[in-house]
Structure 1
Amino acid sequence: MRRARTPRTVGSRGDPDVVEVAGDGLTRLRPARTTPVALDVLVPGAGSSVEVSGVTLDTRLVEPGDLFVGLPGRHHHGASFAARAAQAGAVAVLTDADGARLVADVLPVAVVEDPRRAMAHAAATVYGWPARALTAYGITGTQGKTTTAYLLDAALRAAGTSTGVVGTIGFSLDGRDLGGARTTVTTPESPELQGLLGLLVERGAQALVMEVSSHALVLGRVDAVVFDVAAFTGFGEDHLDFHGDVESYFEAKASLFTPERARHAVVNLDDARGPVLVGRARAAGLPVTTTGLGPDADVHPVRVGPAEHGRTHLRVQVGDRQVGTRLPLPGEHNVRNALTALAMVAAAGGDLEAAARGLEDASVPGRMQRVDLGEGAPAVFVDFAHTPQAVTAAVAALAGLQRVVVVLGAGGDRDPGKRRPMGAAAAELADVVVVTDDNPRGEEPAAIRAEVLAGARGVRREGVQVVDGGDRRSAIATALGLAGPDDTVLVLGKGHERGQEVAGVVYPFVDADVVRRAWSELGGRSEERDEVDR
């Protein structure tokens, strides 16, 4: 493997949702024009009227006229990088008392108790409070955020609405990738977010579809955004390395459904936490639309037809109306995601018929993404599932129709408690489980695999085969070799990701590309299946 990009901390980073990479020449996503604002207007009591035309907390993204934000980090205080920010053109620093002592006389300093919260308001002000010019849709949940966001984007654009998307896979406007610097996994830090929203407004966007992570809610990244519609897709165990326990994680998600953050709630009743959120939201005075597979939900399927050529035929009750669509994604969980997207359109008073048509053209990278290997090959899907609940949903979408071979790993340095349950979830439904590496990060890959293998082998289910596939390339090749032309291979965990992090180095790795290469190297044949099955 050749060396690729190396994660490192720059400026005032330090939380576990940060995925910075080294390198310069980054594209900055912010409006071309802003009206400068005096520092003492942005931060009352700052004691300086220097004019600010942008906000950033990353030294790589500083532009002339910027307010640089110095936050306390895991290893360094961001304010210690003030001199570097000044060299790049920053005109002032926003920080706390500890940071102020590090800035010295480099730049004017605005000192506040909580600079993280203050920077959201400052960035929104500098960029003209862009969220107010957009119909804003926010989606949170342990799984389903990205798929629902892409479904909603397709639904809105089918009705002629110019739509920007902000989420795990990237930033786009009307389906066109905007590129740009990325320093967080899902929801950008507030200065980046407000600059991006300002750019969307400048380019004519009418709606915003945003994945809202639990990190973003706790860390104030969306503090300056009030969503017209906020949706809850579901809840499961994840990110406990950051939140500490399941209840704290849930409370982070639940904080989106308050009048301070949203004007209308859409909640999945099929999730055990759904009714809790409904009660809280209504008690707080929010209008609520419920979704679910049962008739008690406001938005529910009247008919779910059999999947044909990868499409699921749906007829959906939305209040007192019905619409039909052909969903291009398999699985019950994706039916729920489609219900959420339609409910969000309805909550905002959108065109339901156009939305239903739009769902038929939706495509979601790395979410039950079909990898076509041609005639005589097994069906292959790549999916981002990386929690026990998501693994169950992905395998259940395909199990029972054909023999299913699952490739599965778990990430290092994150939530070790979910590794055995992930292995068990796969073994409960799949015919073959090939355990491999995901992103080992700083841990020993074999030790992580041992945990996943223990969970899978602990399932006493007749006929299930569990294999240690070793490294990810080898495991994918093994899975393809074990699958016949009528079988399905499901490669889980990385989805849209384009790299694999091992011992602090990110190597190029795209599951779909590796699948194609491995199949080619196998000569298009499932050579190993009979031998292993014996």
Structure 2
Amino acid sequence: MALRELVARLGVPLDRQPDADPVVTGVSLDSRTVVRGDLYAALPGFNAHGADFAAQAFERGAVAVLTDAAGAGRVPAGMPVVVVDRPREVLGAVAAQVYGDPSTDLKMIGVTGTNGKTTTAYLIESALRAHGRRTGLIGTVETRLGDEVIDSVRTTPETTDLHALLALMRERGLDTCVMEVSSHALALHRVDGVVYDVALFTNLSQDHLDFHADMQDYYQAKASLFTPARSRRAVVGVDDEWGLRLAAEASVPVTTVSTSDTSADWVVARSSDDGTFTLQARDGSQLRLVSHLAGTFNVANTALAALALVAIGLEPAAVEAAMAVPPDVPGRMQLVAAGAARSADRPGSPRCIVDFAHTPDAVDAALAALRPSTSGRLIVVLGAGGDRDRGKRPRMGAAAARHADVVVVTDDNPRSEQPAAIRAAVLAGARELIEAGSAMATELIDGGARAAAIARAVSIGVDETRTRGGADAVDTVIVLGKGHEKGQEIDGVMHPFDDRDAVLAALSAATSGTRP
């Protein structure tokens, strides 16, 4: 698109008119990634202004700079400049124009909420592929363009990258994009320029209060997705007060779903231990579905996913068939080792699971889901992230102590904080519940570094399974907090670390008698 046409469409002035009318072929926020033909978006930052790097962007082939008044004076002479008061707020519209509004050529499905975004997005994307759709996926774990997989840097990309990805999906013939939409992305305008055909809300509970001022601010960020500027219709889980409020306040058509509230448009009417359940509408119509992942919260995720398919036009029979195909959801209730009871010729071993749960509600739900299927002791390993919401740390410890027999507290991503101080806050919450007599936990351990803590938990599980009197008893060890992640950030350095690998190494050492 020609630069003058772009600014005309946006209704903004062009300072420093170029001699020619350059063609803008891309948009970049990072001067280091600019390629020839890009518009360089120079935004104010916490430590520097993007305009300070405009010369480097120009050297790499940028044809113009989008910035604010403060940045305009820092742009070298000779570079065309588009000046707006709040450039971040127009960047989505700019990127959409430059890339030819790619989201309008795709069926767009957005998922937001504190817990369950990743699982629900994977359930939808997996079902659509089973139905024969050509899908893209954007989320916490990865970005997927058909069969190509790219590691994700953040849950929702910057708006420049988002529109470029959507354009690439269109170019490759994909027809649907399923994506996670974080509260950060909504507050920072990362999804501007996209209108979702259907937006989903899973739930809301305490998280990210290091970024949002309070729960009200957090809710308002999420709620902004459910407006005509950002979505056409909504499916809202109403198992919590925030979902009920959103369903009442959303300014787009809403379908509500609940695992228990019979006043919802759809409710889980019957469920079985094997994961099958019936989702019933108020008009009497039904969907017979199966949740392939443990827990009531995954029944809720499955129900939301199914209704997203209904919302984009799939017939009930097609929804049931597509949802019956087991999905692969990395690091979400992921079974690493099945476990085995001891026998006359073989020692036992614990069932080992890895999950991303990193909020109090998610910890509570994950452990509650595993308790009924655990014949032995339930052993949990968890920590809390550094430089993030400190208020949730004791609550996570309390949630762990409420359900698990053994709680091993370890490091998550300490970042710049002292790991021992974070562990102390989690331990304090667990200890308070134990001392009040309200806990299931009988053993509380400061496990220290993550690998050692996982090894200790697995070792306890092996010992319990080996020595327990009941021949069929098998302990469950669940490692919470990092799920799919393949690194651990300590003091500014990202160290390679995968909970799944650590569990397997610990299990091998414990069962072979070569424990560290």
The 8 Å contact of residues 37 and 51 in structure 1, kept in 2 or not, is answered as yes
Paired residue secondary structure (1:458): helix
Q: Within 5 A, what are the aligned runs for 1:334-353?
A: 334-353=298-317
Larger Cα-atom Rg:
2
Are residues 1:493 and 2:481 paired?
Answer: yes
The 8 Å contact of residues 231 and 265 in structure 1, kept in 2 or not, is answered as yes
The 8 Å contact of residues 412 and 442 in structure 1, kept in 2 or not, is answered as yes
Are residues 1:369 and 2:334 paired?
Answer: yes
| CA deviation map 1:368-389 (0-9, x unaligned) | 1110266532111111111101
Report the Cα offset of residue 524 of structure 1.
Answer: 4.5
- 1:492–1:526: structure 2 CA closer, same or farther, 3 Å change rule? farther
AA in 1 matched with 2:13: G
Partner Cα distance (1:358, 1:469) in 2: 43
Report the Cα offset of residue 481 of structure 1.
Answer: 0.7
The 8 Å contact of residues 36 and 52 in structure 1, kept in 2 or not, is answered as yes
Paired residue secondary structure (2:391): helix
Partner Cα distance (2:440, 2:368) in 1: 17
* Partner of residue 456, structure 2: 478
| CA deviation map 1:220-247 (0-9, x unaligned) | 1111011111111000111111111111
The 8 Å contact of residues 519 and 525 in structure 1, kept in 2 or not, is answered as no
| CA deviation map 1:409-429 (0-9, x unaligned) | 000010011100000011001
Partner Cα distance (2:80, 2:389) in 1: 41
Are residues 1:448 and 2:422 paired?
Answer: yes
Partner Cα distance (1:433, 1:150) in 2: 30
Are residues 1:423 and 2:397 paired?
Answer: yes
AA in 2 matched with 1:239: H
Paired residue secondary structure (2:199): strand
* Partner of residue 468, structure 2: none
Partner Cα distance (2:503, 2:319) in 1: 33
The 8 Å contact of residues 329 and 368 in structure 1, kept in 2 or not, is answered as yes
Partner Cα distance (1:272, 1:519) in 2: 41
* Partner of residue 290, structure 1: 256
AA in 2 matched with 1:426: A
Partner Cα distance (2:441, 2:44) in 1: 53
* Partner of residue 115, structure 1: 87
Give the one of 55, 60, 65 matched to 1:93.
Answer: 65
Report the Cα offset of residue 42 of structure 1.
Answer: 5.5
* Partner of residue 136, structure 1: 108
Report the Cα offset of residue 101 of structure 1.
Answer: 1.4
AA in 1 matched with 2:337: D
- 1:322–1:147: structure 2 CA closer, same or farther, 3 Å change rule? same
Deviating more after overlay: 62-71 vs 476-485: 476-485
Report the Cα offset of residue 51 of structure 1.
Answer: 1.8
TM-score by length of 2: 0.90
* RMSD of aligned alpha carbons: 1.9
Give the one of 162, 183, 186 matched to 1:193.
Answer: 162
Give the one of 444, 462, 465 matched to 1:466.
Answer: 444
Partner Cα distance (1:476, 1:236) in 2: 27
AA in 1 matched with 2:123: L
Give the one of 210, 224, 236 matched to 2:205.
Answer: 236
Partner Cα distance (2:276, 2:64) in 1: 57
Paired residue secondary structure (2:164): helix
AA in 2 matched with 1:296: S
* Partner of residue 317, structure 1: 280
Q: Within 5 A, what are the aligned runs for 1:184-223?
A: 185-223=154-192
| CA deviation map 1:144-180 (0-9, x unaligned) | 1000000011122222111111111111134x34327
* Partner of residue 57, structure 1: 29
| CA deviation map 1:11-41 (0-9, x unaligned) | xxxxxxxxxxxxxxxxxxxxxxxx5554534
Paired residue secondary structure (1:240): coil
Percentage of pairs with the same residue: 50
Paired residue secondary structure (1:386): coil
Report the Cα offset of residue 323 of structure 1.
Answer: 2.7
Partner Cα distance (1:349, 1:201) in 2: 20
AA in 1 matched with 2:385: G
Partner Cα distance (1:365, 1:238) in 2: 21
* Partner of residue 326, structure 1: 290
Q: How many residues align?
A: 484
Partner Cα distance (1:527, 1:302) in 2: 48
Report the Cα offset of residue 358 of structure 1.
Answer: 2.9
Partner Cα distance (1:357, 1:525) in 2: 46
AA in 2 matched with 1:134: L
Give the one of 242, 258, 269 matched to 1:302.
Answer: 269
Report the Cα offset of residue 355 of structure 1.
Answer: 2.9
Partner Cα distance (1:379, 1:61) in 2: 45
Paired residue secondary structure (1:220): coil
What 5-or-longer segments of structure 1 have no aligned partner? 1-34, 529-534
AA in 2 matched with 1:472: R
Report the Cα offset of residue 206 of structure 1.
Answer: 1.0
Partner Cα distance (1:463, 1:430) in 2: 5
Partner Cα distance (2:198, 2:8) in 1: 31
